[in-house]
């Protein structure tokens, strides 16, 4: 039996995910010029259902980096809360699909990784400035 995966509730994100999946990332991997996205599937911390969203990513060696910014909102995004409780995730980068283990960047790693991600999407610095919440950098390592 194939489990139904629920996509992000935002219409444009759901459309982006559908195009990404339908084309194996040919439409959607490069979201904007020079800005690439991956699909992250987490297990809902309360529902147990699989949840998928599209996120901007960067690289640090073999690892993939994500920023749990939610545009500088005062609360962490659901995908982050889900992977914090269950760090085993599914990832799609272009046509490639793999499992990964998620972890939060250490205090020693974070400045370097934040700089990497802010170079990809400069708005991350603005998002951090508008919230009291410390925005985490998430590291995805293949499992």
Q: Is the pTM of this model over 0.85?
A: yes
Please tell me whether residue 107 adopts helix, strand or coil conformation: coil
- Give pLDDT tens digits for 26-84: 999 999 999 999 999 999 999 999 999 999 999 999 999 999 999 999 999 999 999 99
In 6-91, where does DSSP find H-type helix? 11-22, 78-85
Cα separation values, 110 from 107, 116, 118, 134, 139, Å: 5, 10, 12, 11, 10
Pick among 3.40.190.10, 4.10.320.10, 3.40.50.880, 2.30.110.10: CATH of 6-142: 2.30.110.10
Q: 68: how many CB neighbours lie within 10 A of its CB?
A: 20
pLDDT, averaged across the chain = 93
Q: Which two tokens stand for residue 30?
A: 């490069």
Judged against a pLDDT cut of 90, whether residue 12 lies above it is answered with no
- Domain segments of the chain: what residues? 6-142
């Amino acid at each position: 039996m194939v489990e139904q995966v629920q996509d992000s509730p935002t219409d444009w994100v759901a459309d982006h995910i559908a195009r990404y999946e339908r084309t194996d990332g040919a439409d959607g991997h490069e979201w904007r010029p020079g800005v690439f996205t991956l699909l992250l599937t987490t297990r809902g911390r309360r529902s147990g259902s699989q949840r998928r969203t599209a996120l901007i990513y960067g690289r640090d060696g073999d690892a993939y980096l994500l920023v749990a910014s939610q545009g500088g909102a005062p609360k962490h995004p659901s995908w982050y809360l889900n992977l914090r409780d269950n760090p085993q995730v599914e990832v799609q980068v272009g046509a490639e699909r793999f499992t990964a283990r998620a972890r939060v960047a250490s205090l020693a790693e974070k400045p370097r990784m934040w700089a990497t991600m802010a170079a990809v999407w400069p708005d991350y610095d603005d998002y951090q400035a508008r919230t009291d919440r410390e925005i985490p950098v998430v590291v995805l390592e293949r499992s």
